[in-house]
Chain A
Amino acid sequence: DAEITQSPRHKITETGRQVTLACHQTWNHNNMFWYRQDLGHGLRLIHYSYGVQDTNKGEVSDGYSVSRSNTEDLPLTLESAASSQTSVYFCASSENPTVTAYEQYFGPGTRLTVT
């Protein structure tokens, strides 16, 4: 069955370190998204991609970057981790919007703690 996976599931890192969170989907979806979820803020969009070599900034993109070299993967990099980036991170994917059933599928999440 097609799925979307994230790794690691839990990560503890120190302030100032570079961290990369992996996201891999086997749906063959063009669109991929990264969200963070925090108490009091709900889910907020960090970055998104509509296809290979395409990346776009979301609502809370400062301090994060992504790259899309193939259809399956969209890694999220924290250039210099800050305590404010302690959060749960979700990756999601969806089909091209020209397809009627434009449903979004989520990974299990990565819990990141920056100390």
Chain B
Amino acid sequence: KQEVTQIPAALSVPEGENLVLNCSFTDSAIYNLQWFRQDPGKGLTSLLLIQSSQREQTSGRLNASLDKSSGRSTLYIAASQPGDSATYLCALNYGQNFVFGPGTRLSVLP
């Protein structure tokens, strides 16, 4: 059974810092990995999708990497802003289903 963990569970940083969120998984037989953002009381917004054959994806200040052999993905946020405060979840797609990590709650302080 696929197990997904995210470390740290919560993170608080001052504005302007670069930061890394981690996602680990136990079964490397995945189709792709998706990073989401969830604001309090809201739904999930897709940030980046990395196909299993790719090593990384970039969108603006966000960069996500994937290392299937070690069962890890990282989400790098450059020059963090208070508006980045949210919970970040990774989700693995294998077969036609998704398994979600528990999320990292990020607070960026002004």
Contact = CB atoms under 8 A, between A and B. Distances in A.
A20 to B, nearest CB: 19
Interface of chain B, main secondary structure = strand
A108 B41 CA distance: 9
Given A43-B89, A50-B96, A101 B44 contact: no
A58 to B, nearest CB: 7
Interface in B57-110: 89, 91, 93, 96-98, 100-103
Interface residues of B, number: 21
B98 A33 contact: yes
Contacts of A92: 44, 98
Contact of B49 (A33, A45, A101, A108): A101
A43 B32 CA distance: 18
B42 A108 contact: yes
Contacts of A108: 42-43
Contacts of A102: 31-32, 49, 93
A105 B100 CA distance: 14
A59 to B, nearest CB: 9
A18 B100 CA distance: 28
Given A48-B97, A50-B96, A103 B49 contact: yes
Contacts of B100: 35, 42-43
Sorted nearest first, the 9 A-B pairs with minimum C-beta distance are A43-B100, A106-B44, A42-B102, A108-B43, A106-B43, A103-B49, A109-B43, A42-B100, A97-B96
13 contacts: A33-B97, A35-B100, A43-B89, A43-B100, A45-B97, A97-B31, A103-B49, A104-B91, A104-B98, A106-B36, A106-B43, A108-B42, A109-B43
Interface of B: 31-32, 34, 36, 42-46, 49, 51, 89, 91, 93, 96-98, 100-103
Given A103-B49, A105-B46, 4 more contacts: A42-B102, A103-B34, A104-B46, A106-B46
